[in-house]
Structure 1
């Protein structure tokens, strides 16, 4: 798998041909490929939709304060991740790193919530959190692929973004 190969000499370099993680560099600006960006937005949009559905269930059936707080936090984080995806798509290494951290830590936090026996969350909320965890894990896998990491890596010589 080639790291980057110059194409027609216009200053554009592309990663290998994996459509899930293709990253484009144009004149030292890093950009996610449209396919990767679209898939990330779809996954994060699904997290938002599932969180909204959970808040709707809480409104209909009377959720505890823990359910409301957790539901609002997950909805806010999914919105933030969508914003960060847009910034990473436009070349922000910081946004990319924040997305990687959040999408890696999120499933761990979900696993803890689901595993705790008496934490104030009903079974339906634990099911919702499991779905959110799986979606975030998929985001983490996409963002952690070698070609994506390499595209957003710092230069070894200067410590600056490549």
Structure 2
């Protein structure tokens, strides 16, 4: 038998242009960009709503702090109101975040709290009761903040981002 000598087959350059022999392919992986959703543009009334609600939380914390500071001889209804107002203020921030994302139920809650809240606060401020003057002043300021929230959540820019509930089918 005779040994036949054949020419080596030509290999395309694209195959040989890979990593050098013995190099670690995983040492420098190619970064793959992960698409992140762009943050939704927040309109001015929504920013204003969050500013007012943060101020409302601050006032609520102050109200509870003053109730603690002046706890001697303070009617328990003031404590209950202070704790309830703080809880509602914190819930309102959560509802505003959901409202910003288009949740109709959160928008409705914000609307109810910001419209009915000042009415209840006006009764507290104007009618006689167990509330000291400092509590009445603090609640009056919170009522004004809630009126500002009512104005801001009814702006067309805010209402435009609220997802409409699907209509009921008629039979």
* Aligned twin of 1:17: none
Structure 1 residue 122 and structure 2 residue 104: aligned? no
Decide whether the 8 Å contact of 1:47 with 1:78 is kept in 2: yes
CA separation of 1:159 and 1:137: change in aligned 2, threshold 3 A: farther
- Structure showing the higher strand proportion among its residues: 1
Residue 145 (structure 2) pairs with residue 139 (structure 1): no
Q: Deviations over 1:128-154 (max 9, x none)?
A: 100000000000011122443354373
Larger radius of gyration: 2
Separation (CA, whole Å) in 1 of partners of 2:149 and 2:108: 13
**1: CA distance, partners of 2:151 / 2:167:** 28
| TM-score, normalization by structure 1 | 0.70
Q: Which of 54, 69, 86 is the aligned partner of 1:45?
A: 54
Q: What stretches of structure 1 of length at least 5 have no aligned partner? A: 1-30
**Greater relative contact order (Cα 8 A, min sep 6): structure 1 or 2?**
2
Matched length: 128
2:110 corresponds to 1:99 = yes
Deviation at 1:40, TM superposition (A): 1.4
Question: Aligned pair in 2 of structure 1 residues 35, 147: CA closer, same or farther (>3 Å)?
Answer: closer
Unaligned runs of 5+ residues in structure 2 are 1-39
